[in-house]
Structure 1
Amino acid sequence: MSITNKDKNPKGRITETAEELYENAPCGYVSFLTDGTIYNLNTTLLSWLNFTKEEVIYLKKFPDLFKIGGQIFFETHFFPLIRMQGFIQEINFDIVRKDRSSFPGLINVIEIPAKGLNPITYRATIFDITDRKKYEKELIAAKKKAEEDSHAKAEFLSTISHEIRTPLHAILGIGNLLSKTHLNEDQKEYAKILLLSSENLLGLVNNLLDLSKIEAQKVKLEMRDFNINNMVKMLQQTFRVKAAEKNIELLVEMDENVPQELTGDPIKLSQILTNLIGNAIKFTKTGSVSIIIEQLETEKNNSLLSFRVCDTGIGIPQDKLEAIFQEFSQASYDVNLEYGGTGLGLTISQKLLHLHHSEMKVQSIEGQGAEFSFEIWYKVNNNFSSAKEKIISNEDKEILKSSRVLVVDDNPANIYITSQFLNNWNLENESAKSGREALNMLKNKHYDLILLDLHMPKLNGYKTAKEIRALNISKQPILIALSASERGEINYKLQKAGFQDHVPKPFQPEKLLETLVYYLHNPNNIGKENFIEVEEETREEIEEIEIKNKPSETQQLKNTTFDVSKFVKMANNNPIYIDKFIKSTLDALIIYEQEFLEAVDAKSAEMLGNLIHKSTMSVFYIQADKLSILMEEVKTLIEKNVASTEVLQKKSKACSREFHKIIKGLQEIKAEEILALTD
């Protein structure tokens, strides 16, 4: 189409009136009064709605354009927020046409202040986002598939790693036993190779398992007391032989200001340092490897420690410094051929440091060595008591001779290997191939300690332990779990079943012996220092998960304290708006919790009544019926003038816990996860 001169103004520019811009804009415009009455809207919106102006202006209210859920949300959340801040941006509503069909709309509203005789009014823009919703659904589906693929990979790695541990336990155990027998020089070399290869394989399996757990977000920091000097000495002792074989000095430098007794996660710190020291020795042919620990800062009872592992090895090219932290990556193909390894150690270490809100740093000059460093905050523990740091003495040997152990495992190879070690330590032992057989044996004979496999058919280790604890016997045995599962994964379940400790399979003989000696000396120790302390609320959550086992999609969508399914319908499955609804409700509940505490503190039934009225819609939307009932019960107790009784205190604490659970749940819940369950 050509534009002639008469279509242009004198200056040659195309003209368009403000009215034309308004009426034919690519979005809908609507203006309404404080009571919601529409007094103007443009042609674009009318065409979408299939109404005429005469059917809308001064006859319909703005909320009439929404479905019933949107109308309720407009009255309780949307419009009050506009009144507070003067605007609101990008909220999704289903817009209803004249024929009662609907389309998804994205709405922005601004408040127009009163001017002269004109009252306060509101102007909204509406965008038809039908196509956007279609693309968003496709993107969500693609994201869900990618997450499922990632989860499947993590599950596969976890499963296969776990399965490999069972035969590996037999290989490593036989290798250890074989090395203790009378062998000629060739046989000693064969046993040495067998042990070395099985230990390397165990390291690979552990790395794969660690990586899969981290990616599946199943790894969390534990809080335990530990002595850092003892840990470093243990690491130095562990690597001393490997360093000596290569004529490398293994040096430790610890700043005298470093506090010795700390609270944190010693297992993950040890794992990070083990990876770094092992790599440093592997890639160093001459010179030394140094472990340097310094205190950088102190704040109240907390200390920021710096850890450095330096070597005089082959170094890393500058262009490879970032790549070495990627999975299955090493500096070069030649390095992999010469030195071996999976390239997972640094990846795992970096991910473990991220849990500590820290980062691994590296400096290196090719051919001159490398320095890896990181910093972690630890709580300084002034009431530290060391546990299980015992040297095997004559007294220990005597208690071993006078004790009896029962080995419970459905795998004959595992029983044989464990029994052989117990025999070598002169520890009387018997075995059972099932939990039921073990229970029958306990009825006729006393055992000081039971080594119990967790994964057995019919009656697993957890159930067996619970039944043992329920037996009416004169003296309960010590229960030690033997399992290919890492303790961090099963910690609470071990506590609940009545175990005192856990030794992972494949076990190092020294570790098992140390554990046996400790508990035989201290049979009444319930092993608290070996487990994470679990808060009551956390226990309730875990128990609910265990009861559900494999919950249905509906159960997963409905939290034990609230249900966000109404938000899904109101947001028309749009994750952006679901998150906004959740945030709006979360902000309100944080305020309501504070007002509840103030009302209880003031022992004011009136304040509680106002709060209950004000919070009705928020509680209704998330279906937090228990919270509503608890607030009413507290109000009734105050009205009945029982404010000084323990009943009121107990009920108030229960209500506070319910507030806390809901707030915590809303903080953690994600729209994508909700939508994934409703597809």
Structure 2
Amino acid sequence: MAPVNILIVDDREENIIALEALLHRDDIRKFSTTSPNEALKIAWENQIAIALVDVQMPEMDGFELVEMLKSNPKTRDILVIFVTAISKEAKYAVKGFGAGAVDYLYKPLDPYITAAKVDAFIQLARSQAEIREKNIELQNFAVVVKNSADIICAVEAQTLRITSVNPAVEKILGFRPNEVVGKSIVDMAVEDDRAHFRKKLGEVIKDNLQFSVFEYRFETFDRRAIWAECRVTYRNKVIFMNISDVSPQKSFQEQLIKSKEAAEYGKKVKETFLANMSHELRTPVNGIIGLTALLRKTETNEQQDGMLDLLETSSQSLLAVINDVLDISKIEAGKFNIVRTVSNIRTTVRSVHDLLRFKAEEHDIEFLLEIAEDVPEYIMMDTLRMNQILMNLLSNAIKFTEKGYVKLKVTQLQKHGARVKLKFSVEDTGIGIPADRLAKIFDSFEQAEDDTTSKYGGTGLGLTITKSLIELKGGDLTVSSQPGKGSVFNFTNWYDIAAAPEKKVEPRDKNKALPLFDDVTILVAEDNLVNQFMLTKILKEWNIQVEIVDNGRKALEKLKELDFDMILMDTHMPEMSGYQTAKAIRMDMEEPKRSIPIISLSAASYDHEQQQALTAGMNDVLPKPFMPYELHEKIEKLLAGKKSFVTA
């Protein structure tokens, strides 16, 4: 608690000392002087609450001093107690009270009376100070309320009628304050919201809520509806409300919600389109690749072998373009996964170099590879995506280089414990990239020049995918180039050094004859005629009996009629999809048919679509296009222990 300031004014020093001795306490701060002029200065400079003033002083008597104090707004509220030795006649008391005193102390001073009176006036001074502070606070609040941009009102809890409201009601709702005072606050809401608004206010009163926020529509003077945010406090049977017009924010939120819904709808439409496109494109490509493999098993002459090579190359090129478009869509949708495993970086880099060496020789350019000695052999990386990155960068370099060389260089930049920072550089002496196009070459469907596609081919997606893959892996991709002299693409990233993995079982030779099955019957649900033919041909070569249907409904009917060891099912089929069919088998069929192994032969490119197949009850997924040996491995795995094999 702040001490109370007391001023003692007496022309005799011994009287001041006596009074100070009587007023010795911790909750007051004493100021004293023998000069009335000095007393005025002290009162002006300090917040004096109580003044003990001697009446008889030579320069200026106490009456004159008090009159001067009371004439100044800054000192007028000082509680003055006259200390006097003159007569107690009424005329002197009247003169003193007329000057502004609140009491008298008569000399000689009685210690008990003096202490009691001073204590009483200290309490009075404290009360007055609190009242002044409250008044100032109330005045400030009144200014805030009056000038607030929000409606501020008090509402009687029992009747819900407005008892007071600030001028903002006219600006927001168009009503003058005197037009709404006495009316029910519930009537301010639009008719459809009134019942709920009344119920909400009832809950505030019932639960004695100190604070609550809710939104309702209010009706303006000109019959417009606005959204109002009501911030409510309930105290002493009065509801205090702060009402803001949030119509602009509400409109903006609604627009955002609509935009979000439109974006999500567009995203869903795009994903659905891409999923369908993936199925519609991959399915015939799967047929082309499968038929090509079947034709190679027949007797062909040299010319036909060349045509088959061209057919295979064309189908692989088409598949690469499909994969590029789908990779971009996956990256944009945030559904592209990076899977790091223990990998031999040196082997990976050499494999990519070996694959493209013949392409470089066709262009009659040198194809160089440098791997620094300090580059570790095994690191944690996504081998598939590293292949994709290097293939894109090197293929581009070879494509745009007519003479000179293309060099792939791998170096170690830093090493910290079990982590290493590697730098991959692809340098060429090709056509180069103009400075004003460098920033654009990583944009989708953009190339260095407008006629690049017509001259060199390509979709303009390779570098976009490469940059996205590198950034998804946490790396950085940079490029420097000079037109006519060549380009250098560098990408760097940190990798965890790994120990050499245990030797794996050698994979089956893809070109080796596959073992035949003994007494196996498979139901194939596939609506594409080419794939029906291809699958029938492949399965029969493996000594498998085959039944073909072209939709899910027919698959269920056939499964009820006959027994099968397995079902190969396309996911996208008319009348009843593969997902629906698998669920029906798992839920509606009796054992053992309920547990029949099902492999999804899906052209779906998204991970969630493949997961959807497994969730529907399928045992495994084989994405289209696939090689025959991949299908054989999955059939063999699911039938392991149930069926025997015969030698080919």
TM-score w.r.t. the length of structure 2 is: 0.56
Q: Distance in 2 between matches of 1:407 and 1:293?
A: 53
Match of 1:103 in 2: 226
Rounded to whole Å, the distance in 2 between the matches of 1:107 and 1:279 is 63
Alpha-carbon distance change, 171 to 102 in structure 1, aligned in 2, over 3 angstroms: same
Letter of the structure 2 residue corresponding to residue 52 of structure 1? P
Once the two structures are superposed, residues 125-161 of structure 1 have per-residue CA deviations (whole angstroms, 9 ceiling, x without a partner) of 8653445644664565466546645654454344234
> Which digits, 9 at most, give the CA deviation of each residue in 1:196-233, with x for residues without a partner?
2222222222222333344445x142657453546556
1:484 maps to 2:581: no
- Give the partner amino acid of 2:149: C
Contact 1:225–1:381 (CA under 8 A) maintained in structure 2: no
Q: What's the CA shift string for 1:520-579, capped at 9, x where partnerless? A: 3785599xxxxxxxxxxxxxxxxxxxxxxxxxxxxxxxxxxxxxxxxxxxxxxxxxxxxx
The whole-number CA distance in structure 1 between the counterparts of 2:604 and 2:539 is 22
The alignment status of 1:194 with 2:318, answered yes or no, reads no
Correspondence 1:337-348 to 2 at 5 A: 337-348=454-465
Number of the residue aligned with 2:480: 364
Q: Could you tell me whether the CA contact under 8 Å between 2:522 and 2:568 is conserved in 1?
A: yes
Q: Percent identity?
A: 26
Mapped pair 1:287 → 2:409: no
Q: Counterpart in 1 of 2:5?
A: none
SS at match of 1:321: helix
- Secondary structure, counterpart of 1:193 in structure 2: helix
Structure 2 letter corresponding to 1:104: W
Q: 1:474 to 1:203 in 2, by over 3 A?
A: closer
- Counterpart residue number, 2:545: 430
Change (3 A) 1:39 1:474: closer
Stretch moving more, 160-169 or 289-298: 289-298
Give the partner amino acid of 1:491.
Answer: Q
Q: Is the 8 Å Cα contact of residues 107 and 126 (structure 1) preserved in structure 2?
A: yes
Matches within 5 A, 1:137-536: 137=254, 141=258, 144-145=261-262, 148-149=265-266, 151-178=268-295, 183-217=300-334, 219-221=335-337, 225=341, 227-229=343-345, 235-236=352-353, 238-246=355-363, 248-249=366-367, 251=369, 253=371, 258=376, 260=378, 262=380, 267-285=384-402, 286-290=404-408, 292=410, 306=422, 308-314=424-430, 315-353=432-470, 355-356=472-473, 358=474, 360-366=476-482, 367-375=485-493, 390-392=507-509, 397=513, 399-400=515-516, 406=522, 408=524, 409-421=526-538, 427-434=542-549, 451-457=568-574, 460-462=577-579, 472=591, 479-486=598-605, 488-497=607-616, 499-507=618-626, 509=627, 512-514=628-630, 516-517=632-633, 520=636, 524=640
Greater strand share, structure number? 2
**Residues in 1 aligned to 2:419 and 2:391: alpha-carbon distance in whole angstroms:** 22
Which structure has greater helix proportion?
1
Larger relative contact order (CA 8 Å, sep ≥ 6): 1
Partner residue, 2:13: none
Distance 1:457 1:107, change over 3 A: closer
Contact 1:93 1:105 in 2 (8 A): yes
Larger Rg, first or second structure (1 or 2): 2
Partner of residue 127, structure 2? none
Once residues 242 and 570 of structure 2 are traced to their aligned partners in structure 1, the CA distance between those partners, rounded to angstroms, is 65
Deviation at 1:340, TM superposition (A): 0.7
SS for the counterpart of 1:333 is coil
Offset, 1:191 = 3.1
Distance 1:328 1:29, change over 3 A: same
Comparing 277-286 with 319-328, which one deviates more in the overlay? 277-286
1:365 Cα offset (Å): 1.6
CA distance in 1, matches of 2:597, 2:503: 20
Measured in 2, the distance between the counterparts of 1:403 and 1:307 equals 55
Aligned pair partner of 1:45 in 155, 169, 175: 169
Q: Give the partner amino acid of 1:30.
A: I
Structure 1: how far apart are the matches of 2:426 and 2:407? 6
- Deviation string 1:490-549 (CA, Å, 9 cap, x unpaired) is 333343455454322122x3xx415634763785599xxxxxxxxxxxxxxxxxxxxxxx
Identify the match of residue 152 of structure 2 among 30, 49, 70. Answer: 30
Measure the CA separation in 1 of the matches of 2:293 and 2:448: 34
1:330 deviates by 0.9
Gaps of 5+ in 1: 1-17, 83-90, 111-121, 527-679
Counterpart code for 1:308: F
Q: Which amino acid aligns with 2:371?
A: E
Q: Secondary structure of the residue that 1:251 maps to in structure 2?
A: strand
8 Å CA contact 1:92–1:104 kept in 2: the answer is no
**Counterpart Cα distance in 2 of 1:258 and 1:69:** 72
Structure 1 residues 375 and 515: alpha-carbon distance in aligned structure 2, compared to 1, 3 A threshold: farther
Q: Distance between the aligned counterparts of 1:195 and 1:93, measured in 2?
A: 65
Q: Distance in 2 between matches of 1:76 and 1:371?
A: 71
Structure 1 CA distance for aligned equivalents of residues 166 and 286 of structure 2: 76
The question of whether the paired residues in 1 share the 8 Å contact of 2:161 and 2:181 is answered with no
Instruction: Say if 1:270 and 1:399 are closer, same or farther in 2 by CA, change over 3 A.
Output: same
Once the 2 structures are TM-superposed, how far is the Cα of residue 288 of structure 1 from its aligned partner? Answer: 2.9
Question: Using a 3 Å threshold, how does the CA distance of structure 1 residues 260 and 104 change in structure 2: closer, same or farther?
Answer: same
- Call closer, same or farther: CA 1:502–1:39 in 2, change over 3 Å: same
Amino acid at match of 1:513: Y
Amino acid across the alignment from 2:427: D
Using the alignment, how far apart are the partners of 1:500 and 1:144 within structure 2? 35
What's the CA shift for 1:27?
2.1
Aligned in 2, Cα 1:333/1:140: closer, same or farther, shift over 3 Å? same
User: Match of 2:29?
Assistant: none
Q: Can you list the C-alpha shifts for 1:386-445, whole angstroms capped at 9, x where unaligned?
A: 878514299x7474476857471333311322454567xx63233321265699589977
Q: CA deviation at 1:106?
A: 6.2
Paired residue type of 1:205: I
What is the DSSP-based 3-state SS (H/G/I as helix, E as strand, rest coil) of the residue aligned with 2:465?
A: helix
Query: Residues 321 and 459 of structure 2 are in contact (CA less than 8 Å); yes or no, is this contact kept in structure 1?
Result: yes
**Kept after mapping to 2: 8 A contact 1:250/1:290:** yes
Number of residues paired by the alignment? 477
Task: Tell me if the contact between 2:481 and 2:487 (Cα under 8 Å) persists in the aligned partners.
Answer: yes
Shift of 1:274: 4.1
Q: Is the 8 A contact 1:407 1:419 kept in 2?
A: no
Amino acid at match of 1:329: E
How far the C-alpha of 1:323 sits from its partner, in A, is 0.9
CA drift of 1:292 comes to 3.2
Between the aligned partners of 2:594 and 2:405, the Cα distance in structure 1 is 57
Question: Judging changes above 3 Å, is the alpha-carbon distance between structure 1 residues 393 and 450 closer, same or farther for their aligned structure 2 residues?
Answer: same
Q: Is the 8 A contact 1:254 1:293 kept in 2?
A: yes
Q: What root-mean-square deviation, in Å, do the aligned CA atoms of Structure 1 and Structure 2 show?
A: 5.6
Deviations along 1:322-345, one digit per CA (max 9) or x if unpaired, are 211212111112322221111122
Cα distance in 2 between the residues matched to 1:374 and 1:69? 64
Equivalent-residue separation in structure 2 for 1:432 and 1:171 (angstroms): 22
